[in-house]
Structure 1
């Protein structure tokens, strides 16, 4: 029974182990002039780890979750135009490796935004042999549970000068008065990335914020729940501001007012 309990506890710990692999960058944006990228992977755990590297296609849902797409559904996939190396790596504790990626687009490819996800999927190392006689007892029941993490990083390629229009459609404080609910609308040819800030214009303080949010081209709008960092009195007027990343073509900033 002790062995069963120990294995279950170990499995729970592994599910929270995504911090054991550090990946940089966490998003890649390519275009006709910038067609390559290098990922740095660092193993922060105390054990050796092995990762398979491959591409997947996903779409974002309005709540921020993702669903995987089939090849037929992934009409804007970048995976077929990308070459990368290596495709499997072993990383020792506190050591790192690099994965290089390059995109080659057909000359006649249509203008638009193409996206796929490079995946770093942990796989088991070769099992170690054991000479422990106690493990060979026929009356010993052993349960072995393993969970391996999977990190997916978006890789985008923009063909042409793509733009989008943005609008904060609505905002409100939730029933518990602990967070601000914001709906951001997007239309146009490209995805949007940026930061949402909730500002008290009187004190100039940022009372809530969420950084590096994304709204991909498959979405016309997305909902965000942004936790307040300090209490805000009823009747206070706040400014909701969404500012796009400066790397985007014709980056925009939109604002809306909210009275609590």
Structure 2
């Protein structure tokens, strides 16, 4: 008997490592919903075996179940075969729809590995083999008209350790787009790479964002200034910790 363990990864702004059975690039798309757009996703088979995948559309319940692009994304092909170490191009088209009001929408294009089953007559069929089955979701963001960021911050909790900073943002979003938060660390030392993503809220409603920010080793015992901003560079938190 062959057992399959599914590794599910819904990616935003991260790089997919080659420890997975396959990888995809780019890892995020943003499209305008006022016109037809055609885009390409490149999939690489990171194994020494042929691979089969299936592609489908899925909404994001955390973002807002009503604000998805599910009915207006067309993928081709939906059944994908990639030779060992090979690469395949998958295209998708996003169509405009009069039902969309101004604001932001989101869906995932999900690529799921289809495992090869062991035939009953296989001499090794009584052995228990474990295979990792990869499933990756690529977020597709669609916007129409003016995006309005309106939120009420209930609380921002920041706790600093020696090696990291724990951040929790509790808010209620009342605009028509998600709030996307990032951070910046300011210090007296000249160190690069002190910026990064914290997370994003739902399009509307109450939401909690939790993340861990690494502190460079050179700053373990130094006072630093932490800034938390949204995608319009509005500062929500500025403090020396």
Structure having the larger proportion of residues in helix: 1
Structure 2 counterparts to residues 217-228 of structure 1, below 5 A: 217-218=203-204, 220-228=207-215
Q: Secondary structure of the equivalent of 1:55?
A: strand
**Out of 82, 89, 92, which is 2:80 matched to?**
89
Structure 2 counterparts to residues 201-220 of structure 1, below 5 A: 202-205=188-191, 209-211=195-197, 213-218=199-204, 220=207
CA contact (8 A) 1:198 1:206 kept: no
Flag the 1:12–1:56 CA change in 2: closer, same or farther, 3 A.
closer
Q: CA RMSD in A?
A: 3.6
TM-score, normalised via structure 1 length: 0.71
- Is 2:163 aligned against 1:178? yes
| Cα distance in 1 for residues equivalent to 2:39 and 2:52 | 21
For 1:147, the equivalent position in structure 2 comes to 132
| Cα distance in 1 for residues equivalent to 2:25 and 2:56 | 16
- Is 2:55 aligned against 1:59? no
For 1:197, the equivalent position in structure 2 comes to 184
Larger Rg: 1
Q: CA deviation at 1:227?
A: 1.7
Q: CA deviation at 1:217?
A: 1.5
| Cα distance in 2 for residues equivalent to 1:102 and 1:162 | 22
| Cα distance in 2 for residues equivalent to 1:154 and 1:45 | 24
Structure 2 counterparts to residues 38-49 of structure 1, below 5 A: 38-49=40-51
Q: CA deviation at 1:42?
A: 1.1
- Is 2:26 aligned against 1:25? yes
TM-score, normalised via structure 2 length: 0.75
Q: Which runs of 5+ in 1 are unaligned?
A: 62-72, 245-250
Q: CA deviation at 1:146?
A: 3.3
Q: CA deviation at 1:88?
A: 0.9
Q: Secondary structure of the equivalent of 2:91?
A: strand
Q: Which runs of 5+ in 2 are unaligned?
A: 9-16
Would you say how many aligned residue pairs link Structure 1 and Structure 2? 227
Q: CA deviation at 1:18?
A: 5.5
